[in-house]
């Protein structure tokens, strides 16, 4: 309700006949009055309307008998509504009884109409200010709830964007960019505390032949199968990433070289026991693996050198017949010399 609207006053006069005489003055002063002559009309008015002030002019016996303040506050939906009582006689004891029954103000029946009007407008302004404060609180609460929802949605969107920025869309594995940042930190930790860290590169065998014979959708199935097998083969502390195309990388902190053959065997066996359907027939796939380990395979300066050695071991595995693991420290000495001299080693697939 806007403050410019007329003050709405419910007049409750069930037995005295006092307020019908006062009502014309209140109306002439600009108040919007509603007169309840009996209890049923009072209940009806309370249910239908919203009032700024309720003015009661019944005897103390009627007030106590009908519990008018309690009934009014129970039925009226307003959070707060001031009640003025003008009893048929006035003294301090009656005022105390009225306040204990729940009225806000007790006026002497000899009070002039302008004084009664002044008290009505004063309490009405107080009520409207109270209602306005509650509305502001509700608006603020709704705004805070909305902002909290927006912040939650923004957080979810940011998490989604971050997930997309670090995840390979086909396999759901981490992408190469995230892998390099992760591995750089893990490698720095290993060097600082002189702990082993291994890198294993995995390359799918014969992907081009699968794409040519069965189509790229079947090739994608094969890539996703390898990704699933790799993810299910490692610890939570390890990292599996799609390195590019049909090539994957596993980073294994706190893992020496002698633990890698068992991991490679498990990966190869899981692939051998899984088949892919092309729609016409089913077939199995294999992969080749190459690994390098710090510090066993060298005092590498950066993680990229560890990847480079694992990559050369991978191509050695392919050259040796595929579907096997080759480890850097097992390669012929010329590979080590080529790496140490920073001369690139080219191995045909």
User: Which pLDDT value is given to residue 74?
Assistant: 67
DSSP state of 329: G
- Tell me 301's DSSP state: S
> For position 247, what pLDDT does the model report?
96
16 has pLDDT over 70? yes
Q: Which domains does the chain carry?
A: 8-138 (3.40.50.2300), 176-340 (3.30.70.270)
- Where do we find the tokens 């709704």? 142
* pLDDT at residue 52 is higher than 50: yes
Q: Helical H runs in 194-295?
A: 207-214, 216-231, 260-272
Q: Is the pLDDT of residue 235 over 90?
A: yes
> What confidence tier does 65 reach under pLDDT thresholds 50, 70, 90?
low
Instruction: Indicate whether 305 pLDDT > 90.
Output: yes
pLDDT at residue 146, rounded to an integer: 92
Say whether pLDDT at 258 is over 60: yes
pLDDT for 344: 42
Position 185 scores a pLDDT of 96
pLDDT over 80 (residue 337): no
pLDDT of residue 99: 87
With a cut of 80, say whether residue 75 has pLDDT above it. Answer: no
pLDDT band at 287 (very low <50, low <70, confident <90, very high): very high
Q: Taking residues 279-286, what's their average pLDDT?
A: 88
Q: Are 328 and 291 a contacting pair, CB within 8 Å?
A: yes
Give the whole-number percent of the chain exceeding pLDDT 90.
53
Q: Which residues pair with 197 in a beta bridge?
A: 253, 294
3-state DSSP helix/strand/coil % of the chain, to nearest 5: 55, 15, 30
Read off the pLDDT of each residue in 297-311 and give the average, rounded to a whole number: 95
Residue 324: predicted pLDDT: 95
Mean pLDDT of 235-260: 96
Whether the predicted pLDDT of 349 surpasses 60: no
| DSSP SS3 for 294 | strand
What's the whole-number average pLDDT of the chain? 87
pLDDT of residue 346: 36
Per the model's pLDDT, the better-predicted residue between 205 and 74 turns out to be 205
pLDDT of 333 strictly over 80:
no
Residue scoring higher pLDDT (1 or 145): 145
% the chain with pLDDT above 70: 89
What is the predicted pLDDT for the residue at 157? 86
pTM of the shown model: 0.60
pLDDT of residue 1: 46
Residue 145 CA: distances (Å) to CA of 134, 150, 152: 16, 9, 10
pLDDT average, residue stretch 166-178: 94
Q: Specify the pLDDT at position 91.
A: 87
Q: List, for residues 88-135, the tens digit of each pLDDT value.
A: 888 888 888 888 888 889 999 999 999 999 999 999 998 888 888 888
Strands (DSSP E) along 3-50, which ranges? 8-12, 32-36
d(CA 162, CA 180): 16
**Averaged over 57-76, what is the pLDDT?**
72
pLDDT at 335: 59
């Amino acid at each position: 309700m806007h403050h410019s609207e007329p003050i709405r006053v419910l007049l409750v006069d069930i037995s005295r006949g006092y307020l019908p005489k006062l009502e014309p003055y209140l109306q002439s002063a600009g108040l919007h009055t509603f007169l309840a002559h009996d209890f049923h009309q009072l209940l009806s008015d309370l249910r239908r309307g919203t009032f700024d002030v309720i003015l009661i002019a019944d005897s103390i016996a009627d007030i106590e008998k009908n519990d008018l303040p309690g009934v009014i506050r129970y039925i009226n939906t307003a959070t707060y509504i001031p009640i003025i009582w003008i009893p048929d006689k006035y003294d301090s004891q009656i005022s105390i009884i009225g306040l204990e029954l729940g009225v806000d103000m007790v006026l002497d029946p000899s009070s002039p109409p302008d004084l009664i009007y002044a008290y009505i407008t004063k309490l009405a302004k107080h009520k409207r200010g109270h209602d306005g404060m509650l509305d502001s609180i509700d608006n603020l609460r709704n705004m805070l709830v909305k902002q909290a929802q927006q912040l939650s949605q923004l957080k979810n969107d940011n998490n989604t964007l971050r997930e997309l920025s670090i995840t390979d869309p086909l396999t759901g594995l981490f992408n190469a960019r995230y892998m390099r940042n992760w591995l750089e930190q893990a490698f720095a930790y290993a060097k600082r505390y002189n702990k082993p860290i291994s890198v294993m590169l995995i390359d799918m065998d014969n992907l081009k032949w699968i794409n040519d014979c069965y189509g790229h959708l079947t090739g994608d199935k094969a890539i996703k199968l390898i990704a699933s097998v790799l993810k299910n083969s490692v610890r939570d502390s390890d990292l599996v990433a799609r390195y590019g195309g049909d090539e994957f990388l596993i980073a294994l902190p706190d893992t020496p070289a002698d633990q890698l053959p068992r991991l490679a065997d498990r990966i190869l066996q899981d692939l051998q026991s899984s088949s892919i359907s092309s729609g016409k027939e089913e077939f199995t796939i294999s992969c080749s693996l190459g690994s390098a380990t710090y510090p066993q395979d060298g005092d590498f300066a950066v993680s990229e050198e560890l990847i480079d050695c694992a990559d050369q071991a991978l191509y050695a595995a392919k050259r040796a017949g595929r579907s096997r693991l080759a480890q850097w420290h097992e390669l012929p000495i010329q590979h080590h010399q080529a790496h140490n001299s920073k001369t690139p080693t080219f191995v045909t697939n």
